[in-house]
């Protein structure tokens, strides 16, 4: 009889363990989900769904303004495939040295539905020419 009771305890412990792992995975995925979109997709999405999103595009030549007071920048983000689709971005924080007009950037944050401005908490620049292998032939 001790053998049957012992197996039941192991089965119950396994079921509880798997249920706990399943709960942690499900709650972690829904809580920290971040949409990764280009500017055109972000404009087509309801602002209430963009409370936490990651956008990519190019920095427009016009409209780059340093934030006052403190570090940060306000700029227009262009869709890489459809440059006529634009979105205004405000970022507070240290601006990367490689940030300039025309550079590819990724911003993470949320859309301010009242103003239509994307409030970025993270700004990452991409500088492909600096890291690509140069043709030496």
- Please indicate, yes or no, if residue 79 is contained in any of the structural domains: yes
50 and 15: one domain?
no
- Please indicate, yes or no, if residue 136 is contained in any of the structural domains: no
10 and 61: one domain?
no
The DSSP annotation for 116-127 comes to TEEEEEEEEEE-
Number of domains in the chain: 2
**Residues 107 and 123 sit within 8 Å (Cβ to Cβ):** yes
101 and 46: one domain?
yes
Tell me the mean pLDDT in the region 57-86: 91
* DSSP tag of 56: E
**Residue 5: domain span:** 1-33
- Please indicate, yes or no, if residue 22 is contained in any of the structural domains: yes
pTM value?
Answer: 0.68
67 and 89: one domain?
yes
- Return the structure tokens found at 90: 């405000």
pLDDT in tens, 3-48: 555 788 888 888 988 888 877 776 665 545 566 788 988 888 888 7
20 and 56: one domain?
no
53 and 108: one domain?
yes
- Please indicate, yes or no, if residue 7 is contained in any of the structural domains: yes
39 and 8: one domain?
no
- Looking from the CA of 29 toward its CB, the CA atoms found within 13 Å total 6
15 and 73: one domain?
no
* pLDDT band at residue 2 under the 50/70/90 scheme: very low
Q: Which residue has the higher pLDDT, 89 or 131?
A: 89
CATH number at residue 86: 2.40.50.140
- Please indicate, yes or no, if residue 137 is contained in any of the structural domains: no
Q: What is the dihedral of CA 87, 91, 94, 99, to 10 degrees?
A: 10
- The answer to whether the Cα torsion of 50, 88, 37, 103 is positive or negative is negative
* pLDDT band at residue 1 under the 50/70/90 scheme: very low
């Amino acid at each position: 009889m001790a053998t049957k009771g012992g197996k039941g305890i192991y089965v119950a412990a396994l079921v509880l363990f798997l249920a706990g792992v399943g709960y942690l995975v499900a709650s972690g995925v829904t809580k920290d989900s971040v949409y990764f979109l280009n500017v055109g997709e972000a404009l087509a999405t309801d602002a209430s769904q963009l409370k936490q999103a990651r956008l990519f595009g190019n920095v427009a030549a016009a409209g780059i303004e340093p934030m006052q007071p403190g570090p940060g920048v306000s700029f227009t983000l262009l869709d890489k495939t459809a440059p006529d689709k634009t979105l205004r971005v405000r970022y507070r924080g240290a601006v990367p040295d490689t940030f300039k007009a025309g550079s590819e950037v990724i911003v993470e944050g949320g859309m301010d539905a009242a103003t239509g401005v994307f409030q970025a908490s993270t700004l990452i620049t991409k500088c492909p020419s600096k890291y690509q292998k140069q043709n030496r032939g």
